[in-house]
């Protein structure tokens, strides 16, 4: 977190586990780079199978998206089953979708199994729609889950207003599998669970290079190195130039959040404490925290936040959603970088023999990344990836003209906002 931010999650998280940099020349079976949800959940799953694992983290567990996000537990992958089938074919598309359906169960189970203190609340996830087009899309999503027997409920406009306290929505749906967590406490708790399971977690331990050594790999940090048979890069939007070409396979897009002071007990703002987002292409998401603060998130600027004045988007959103709340500056403001692929599908890359990189963020990874340590552990212990509920393993697929990514992001955001505005202007069918 930069000194220009004031993160609610940093101010209220469980304490960070005491960790040390890597010293000397070490050996392990699997080395994981990055201690976010992906790296830590995979490390725990490997340790549960008796595999020796070392996690190397540049800063501290949760330093990336895992410590900055909205803490919304949103069940399932972003894509509907039909989209996954179109992208991956019938067998893998259906397998991924079915596996995704259980991601919030896996998250809450892991939290319970390791007794992770992270304010985990299974209060439900709500999606609301403010245009007829968006409502039809929400209905499709609701019906798809209902057909699979998921605990979802359709909401008319009145029910949506009662649940959220926000006006202007035509309806939506609620999914009882979802809820909220304190995201940084979850990351720190996963790090503690990994340590308890026998994983060696080192931080600060930025990996500066990965070199072949016989049939193995050596990962070098400033203070030591570790030799590993297999390697997983779980560095998400913070990949940098660690592996040539990897960072060019996705874009890092800022999302900003602000949080109010705790609201009065009798407020009508999310009395049931669900996690909420709307169906806009330029997403708006909000929730309450354990102390009752309202946390609102939305599009960030192209560059890192430069102080409280960068947070106009979430602040204007809060004012529009809840005009009755006092118009006072937020108590907290912070941003995070979302790792986005052009088609918003997750990626799994084979970089070299025994070296994989996974990118599965796309702004929706609290349940998914925390819940899918097991298949990644299977992959790293030699399972055939074609048998696993994972995206296909491919070589690197850089985004064309990646150096122009800021232009893409700006143009993409304008395009999506224009389409949202068009939807709002369109009369009901």
Ligand X SMILES: Cc1cc2nc3c(=O)[nH]c(=O)nc-3n(C[C@H](O)[C@H](O)[C@H](O)COP(=O)(O)OP(=O)(O)OC[C@H]3O[C@@H](n4cnc5c(N)ncnc54)[C@H](O)[C@@H]3O)c2cc1C
Task: Report the interface residues with ligand X, using CB under 6 A.
Answer: 33-39, 56-59, 63-66, 68-72, 74, 206-207, 234-240, 242, 255, 285, 297, 336-338, 361, 363-367, 369
Query: Least distance to ligand X from the beta carbon of 187, Å?
Result: 7
Residue placing its CB nearer to ligand X in the complex, 165 or 363:
363
Query: Least distance to ligand X from the beta carbon of 224, Å?
Result: 13
Query: Least distance to ligand X from the beta carbon of 4, Å?
Result: 15
Alpha-carbon dihedral sign for residues 349, 351, 357, 362: negative
The rounded distance, in Å, linking the Cα atoms of 325 and 10 is: 25
Residue placing its CB nearer to ligand X in the complex, 132 or 402:
402
Query: Least distance to ligand X from the beta carbon of 319, Å?
Result: 20
The rounded distance, in Å, linking the Cα atoms of 267 and 265 is: 6
Query: Least distance to ligand X from the beta carbon of 373, Å?
Result: 10
The rounded distance, in Å, linking the Cα atoms of 95 and 144 is: 15
The rounded distance, in Å, linking the Cα atoms of 349 and 394 is: 5
Query: Least distance to ligand X from the beta carbon of 423, Å?
Result: 23
Q: Which residue is nearest to ligand X (CB)?
A: 365
- Separation in Å, CA 137 to CA 129, 160, 267, 370, 379: 9, 16, 30, 27, 35
* Helices within 81-236 (DSSP H only): 81-88, 90-101, 103-113, 132-147, 157-164, 183-196
Residue placing its CB nearer to ligand X in the complex, 133 or 226:
226
Residue placing its CB nearer to ligand X in the complex, 54 or 133:
54
Query: Least distance to ligand X from the beta carbon of 54, Å?
Result: 11
The rounded distance, in Å, linking the Cα atoms of 65 and 13 is: 15
Rounded to 5 degrees, φ, ψ at 25 are -110, 115
Cβ atoms 219, 39 nearer than 8 A:
no
Residue placing its CB nearer to ligand X in the complex, 9 or 169:
9
Residue placing its CB nearer to ligand X in the complex, 64 or 171:
64
Cβ atoms 247, 240 nearer than 8 A:
yes
Query: Least distance to ligand X from the beta carbon of 132, Å?
Result: 26
Residue placing its CB nearer to ligand X in the complex, 138 or 242:
242
Query: Least distance to ligand X from the beta carbon of 329, Å?
Result: 20
Question: What is residue 180's three-state secondary structure?
Answer: strand
Residue placing its CB nearer to ligand X in the complex, 38 or 127:
38
The rounded distance, in Å, linking the Cα atoms of 73 and 37 is: 13
**Omega cis (within 30) before 204:** yes
Give CA torsion, residues 69, 75, 79, 81, to 10 deg. Answer: 170
Query: Least distance to ligand X from the beta carbon of 422, Å?
Result: 26
- Separation in Å, CA 28 to CA 179, 229, 232, 254, 281: 36, 7, 13, 35, 43
Residue placing its CB nearer to ligand X in the complex, 97 or 133:
97
Residue placing its CB nearer to ligand X in the complex, 70 or 133:
70
The rounded distance, in Å, linking the Cα atoms of 231 and 245 is: 17
């Amino acid at each position: 977190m930069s000194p220009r931010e004031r993160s609610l999650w940093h101010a209220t998280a469980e304490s960070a586990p005491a960790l040390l940099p890597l010293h000397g020349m070490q050996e392990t079976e699997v080395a994981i780079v990055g201690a976010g949800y992906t790296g830590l959940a995979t490390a725990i799953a490997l340790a549960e199978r008796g595999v020796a694992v070392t996690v190397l983290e540049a800063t501290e567990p949760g330093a990336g998206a895992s410590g900055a996000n909205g803490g919304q537990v949103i069940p399932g992958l972003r894509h509907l089953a039909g989209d996954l089938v179109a992208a991956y074919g019938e067998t893998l598309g259906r397998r991924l979708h079915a596996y995704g359906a259980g991601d919030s169960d896996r998250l809450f189970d892991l939290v319970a199994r390791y007794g992770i203190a992270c304010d985990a609340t299974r209060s439900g996830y709500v999606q609301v729609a403010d245009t007829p087009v968006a409502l039809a899309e929400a209905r499709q999503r609701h019906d798809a889950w209902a057909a699979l027997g998921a605990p979802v409920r359709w909401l008319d406009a009145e029910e949506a207003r009662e649940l959220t306290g926000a006006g202007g929505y035509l309806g939506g749906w609620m999914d009882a599998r979802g809820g909220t967590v304190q995201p940084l406490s979850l990351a720190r708790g996963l790090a503690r669970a990994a340590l308890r399971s026998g994983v060696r977690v080192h931080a600060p331990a930025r990996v500066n290079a990965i070199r072949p050594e016989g049939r193995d790999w050596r990962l070098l940090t400033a203070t030591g190195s570790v030799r590993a048979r297999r390697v997983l890069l779980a560095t998400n939007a913070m990949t940098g130039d660690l592996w040539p070409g990897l960072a060019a396979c996705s874009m890092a897009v800022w999302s900003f959040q602000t949080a109010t002071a705790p609201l009065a007990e009798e407020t009508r703002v999310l009395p049931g404490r669900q996690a909420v987002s709307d169906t806009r292409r330029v997403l708006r998401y909000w929730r309450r925290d354990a102390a009752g603060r309202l946390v609102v998130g939305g599009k960030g600027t192209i560059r890192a936040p430069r102080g409280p004045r960068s947070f106009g988007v979430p602040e204007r959103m809060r004012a529009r959603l809840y005009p009755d709340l006092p118009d006072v500056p937020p108590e907290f403001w912070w941003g995070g970088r979302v790792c986005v692929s052009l088609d918003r599908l997750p990626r799994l890359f084979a970089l070299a023999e025994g070296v994989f990189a996974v990118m599965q963020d796309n702004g929706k990874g609290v349940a998914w990344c925390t819940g899918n340590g097991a298949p990644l552990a299977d992959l790293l212990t030699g399972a055939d990836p074609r048998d696993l509920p994972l995206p296909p393993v491919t070589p690197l697929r850089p985004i064309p003209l990646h150096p122009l990514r800021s232009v893409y992001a700006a143009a993409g955001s304008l395009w999506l906002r224009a389409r949202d505005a068009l939807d709002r202007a369109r009369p009901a069918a």
